[in-house]
Structure 1
Amino acid sequence: MPEGPSIVIFKEEVQGFKRKKIIAVSGNTAIEKERMLNQTVVDFKSWGKHFLICFKAFSLRVHFMLFGSYRINEKKDAPARLSLQFTNGEINFYACSVQFVEGNVNDTYDWSVDVMSDEWDPVKARKKLKANPDMLVCDALLDQHIFSGVGNIIKNEVLFRIKVHPESKIGNLPPKKLSELIKEARVYSFQFLEWKKAFVLKKHWLAHTKKICPRDHIPFIKKHLGKTHRRTFYCEMCQVRY
């Protein structure tokens, strides 16, 4: 599943289609895709893991789920969920969820919870976390209403960085650790963006999919934790359970 930084990269890659008219629409989606025909793209936006194509009166939301993908100016050897043709190229979406958002997209999305947005509000994140003291930190980081855009890779890396056990409860974290959690969720997301653009992201992973802790040189624990049962890699020695 693409995390927030990957969607930001996609948004940057399609800027050449901004203010361009869609001249053909196809794909196996069940939505009324023909309503986009002859519509001009007003803007491209990202909110967490959502990619948004904005038109004058509505927007198209794309969620890549677990196995979704896209191609720009080329096709995969697979049925497209949605294909948008422009005079200067095409965007093809595969194995993803597409849905219309009516009206002004700013009325639907709260940009202050997107960790990569200029409007990100760490104070709001802190209030939401403190309102859920029994929530596990591994669940909190994946809650898109608190940390929109944070995915499993960022979760594992952030918790390793701040030395917090994934099954710690939010309410048990010292104030300093809570601050570190909020800060590093955003900091690591932008580093993720930088490394992915440079094609060196995996080289920087310290915990995700790793077998040995680079700090203590003991085996990582791998478990499927939290409400979502996502893969979690952690060190029982240096990551403190609160």
Structure 2
Amino acid sequence: MPEGPSIVILKEQVAAFSGKLILSATGNTKVDKDIMTGQKVLAFSSWGKHFLIRLPGLTVRIHFLLFGSYSINQQTKPNPRLHLKFENGDLYFYTCSIKLLEENIDELYDWSADVMNDAWDAKKARKKLKTAPETLVCDALLDQAIFAGVGNIIKNEVLFRIRVHPESQIGALPPRKLTEMINEARNYSFDFLKWKKEFVLRAHWLAHTKTQCPRDHVPLIKVKHMGKARRRAFYCEVCQKLYVLPRKKATAARPSRSSRPAKSPARAK
């Protein structure tokens, strides 16, 4: 699944089509393609893992899901979901979800939740996290309402960077660690962007898909389905600390008056 930095790269790659007319819209998507034909692209935007094509009174939202992809000026796969033809080139989308949005996307999207956006607000992220103290950090980082654009690679690498076990709970993290997690979600996303542009992203992975911890030189733990998100996790049991909330002590409930045994009737004299 493409993560936020990859969508930013796509936005940059298609900049030549901004301001151009869509000459035709074809493909096997079930949305109304005719409504796109003849429309001018006002701008391309990204929010987290969503790629947005802004048209007058309409926005085309592309979500690449797990196996989506795209190509520019050359069809690289059969049966594109959507093919947009411009006078200066072609844009193809494959195996993705396409939706037409008629709402004002500035009202529809919270830009302050996008870790790649200039409007990113770390204080808002912290406030949202505080409302769910029992949430596992591996799930919190994948919550697009808090960290839009963060995917499984970024999640694993951020937690390795800050030395936090993925099954730690938000409410158990020391304030300093919570701050580190929030900041590194954004920092690593921009490192991801830089390395992907240089075609060296995989070379910089420290935990994701790795078998040995580069710090402690012990085998990394791999879990295929962790947390509610059920995503792969790679972590070190030596250097990544597990933070959990104390268990609530079970208190024996005092029996109510109605549940107490009735007194034996007095014996007749």
Query: What TM-score range do you get, normalising by the shorter chain?
Result: over 0.9
The alpha-carbon deviation at position 33 of structure 1 amounts to: 1.1
SS at match of 1:35: coil
Match of 2:4 in 1: 4
Spell out structure 1 runs of 4+ moving beyond 4 A. none
Cα distance in 2 for partners of 1:20, 1:65 equals: 27
Match of 2:241 in 1: 240
- Paired residues of 2:21 and 2:39 also in contact (CA < 8 A): yes
Cα distance in 2 for partners of 1:78, 1:164 equals: 43
The one-letter amino acid paired with 2:240 is: Q
Cα distance in 1 for partners of 2:228, 2:204 equals: 27
Cα distance in 2 for partners of 1:232, 1:78 equals: 33
The one-letter amino acid paired with 1:159 is: L
SS at match of 2:38: coil
The alpha-carbon deviation at position 181 of structure 1 amounts to: 0.3
Match of 1:186 in 2: 186
Q: Does 2:175 correspond to 1:175?
A: yes
SS at match of 1:92: strand
Q: What's the CA shift string for 1:142-168, capped at 9, x where partnerless?
A: 000000000000000000000000000
Q: Which segments of 5 or more consecutive residues in structure 2 lack a partner in the other structure? A: 244-269
Q: How does 1:53-92 map to 2 (within 5 A)?
A: 53-92=53-92
Cα distance in 2 for partners of 1:115, 1:77 equals: 31
Which structure has more helix as a fraction of its residues?
A: 1
The alpha-carbon deviation at position 104 of structure 1 amounts to: 2.2
SS at match of 2:203: helix
Cα distance in 2 for partners of 1:189, 1:132 equals: 23
- Paired residues of 2:77 and 2:94 also in contact (CA < 8 A): no
The alpha-carbon deviation at position 98 of structure 1 amounts to: 0.3
Q: Does 2:232 correspond to 1:231?
A: yes
The one-letter amino acid paired with 1:226 is: G
Structure number with larger C-alpha Rg: 2
Match of 1:156 in 2: 156
Q: How does 1:9-24 map to 2 (within 5 A)?
A: 9-24=9-24
Match of 2:211 in 1: 211
The alpha-carbon deviation at position 65 of structure 1 amounts to: 0.3
Match of 2:100 in 1: 100
Q: Does 2:112 correspond to 1:112?
A: yes
Cα distance in 1 for partners of 2:190, 2:170 equals: 24
Cα distance in 2 for partners of 1:208, 1:93 equals: 27
- Paired residues of 2:20 and 2:40 also in contact (CA < 8 A): yes
Cα distance in 2 for partners of 1:187, 1:193 equals: 10
SS at match of 1:142: coil
Q: What's the CA shift string for 1:98-144, capped at 9, x where partnerless?
A: 00111321111110000000000000000000110000000000000
Q: How does 1:131-150 map to 2 (within 5 A)?
A: 131-150=131-150
Cα distance in 2 for partners of 1:145, 1:230 equals: 18
**Aligned residue-pair number:** 242
The one-letter amino acid paired with 2:60 is: L
SS at match of 1:128: helix
Cα distance in 2 for partners of 1:103, 1:173 equals: 38
Report the TM-score when normalising by structure 1. 0.99
Cα distance in 2 for partners of 1:209, 1:77 equals: 27
Cα distance in 2 for partners of 1:81, 1:232 equals: 31
The one-letter amino acid paired with 1:8 is: V
SS at match of 1:37: coil
Cα distance in 2 for partners of 1:112, 1:56 equals: 24
Q: What's the CA shift string for 1:160-192, capped at 9, x where partnerless?
A: 000000000000000000000000000000000
SS at match of 1:90: strand
The alpha-carbon deviation at position 67 of structure 1 amounts to: 0.4
The alpha-carbon deviation at position 201 of structure 1 amounts to: 0.2
